[in-house]
Amino acid sequence: MKIICIGRNYADHISELENEKPKEPVIFLKPDTSILLKKQPFFIPDFSEDVHYEVEVLVKIKKVGKHIQEKFAHKYYDEIGLGIDFTARDLQQKLKEKGLPWEKAKAFDGAAVVGEKWLPKDSIADINMLNFRLEKNGETVQKGNTGLMLWKIDELIAYVSQFFTLKIGDIIFTGTPAGVGKVSVEDKLTGFIEEDQIFSIQTK
């Protein structure tokens, strides 16, 4: 399986990192080895002094597809989740400045938290009106709503499937809202969609 991540999908996060608003979605991949193993803590890698959390809504692909039209995109997923796109921000900044790929900063072991709980799409009234949030040590640090995405889930599926065949079990990370920040050892990060707790992890 593969993880396809969308960058710069919320206007408020673009301005917090002083990035340009893109004309097309920014896409990068994480390998399956980046998934944080169940019940394991997240070990902050020693090659970074500034690892950030980015809470993101996840979409699990359930059907093989390529060149999917937006109007058919809803047939390719029936579960919505939540996760963290951990980012070594200092390293990413250096790579960006040199115009180099971001993988070292985003695709390292443990950099993809995939919440264990998935919500059936049928149980959600409006997928483009979902509230989600991240708590750090019990305090809300990021808050988002899928209505604020520059590209909605179905548009993202149509877009990414022009480049990559989507396969069963692939996961799309749909981008992070404002409020990204640094993790320290012994932080507890808990993610919610509406009032459902989707994951809870510990940093080491």
Least distance in angstroms from the C-beta of 126 to Zn ion: 23
Out of 48, 54, 84, 107, the residue judged to bind Zn ion by CB under 5 A: 54
Candidate segments 40-48, 76-84, 125-133, 173-181, binder of Zn ion by CB under 5 A: 173-181
Out of 85, 154, 170, 187, the residue judged to bind Zn ion by CB under 5 A: 85
- Alpha-carbon distance 46 to 30, whole Å? 19
Candidate segments 14-22, 80-88, 155-163, 180-188, binder of Zn ion by CB under 5 A: 80-88
Least distance in angstroms from the C-beta of 173 to Zn ion: 6
Least distance in angstroms from the C-beta of 48 to Zn ion: 15
**Cβ-based nearer residue to Zn ion, 176 or 203:** 176
- Please name which of 11, 5, 20 lies closest in space to residue 57, comparing C-alpha atoms: 5
Candidate segments 17-25, 47-55, 128-136, 186-194, binder of Zn ion by CB under 5 A: 47-55
Out of 9, 146, 174, 176, the residue judged to bind Zn ion by CB under 5 A: 176
Q: In what order do the strands lie in the sheet with 181-182?
A: 87-88, 51-53, 181-182
Angle at 124 between CA 119 and CA 127, to 5 degrees: 100
- What are all long-range contacts of 193-196, with beta carbons under 8 Å and residues at least 24 apart? 193/57, 193/80, 193/82, 193/119, 193/130, 193/131, 193/132, 194/130, 194/131, 194/132, 196/117, 196/119
Backbone angles phi, psi at 133, to 5 degrees: -155, 160
DSSP label of 35: B
Candidate segments 16-24, 75-83, 85-93, 192-200, binder of Zn ion by CB under 5 A: 85-93
Least distance in angstroms from the C-beta of 5 to Zn ion: 6
Task: Indicate whether 142 belongs to the interface with Zn ion (CB under 5 A).
Answer: no
Contact set with Zn ion (CB under 5 A): 54, 85, 176
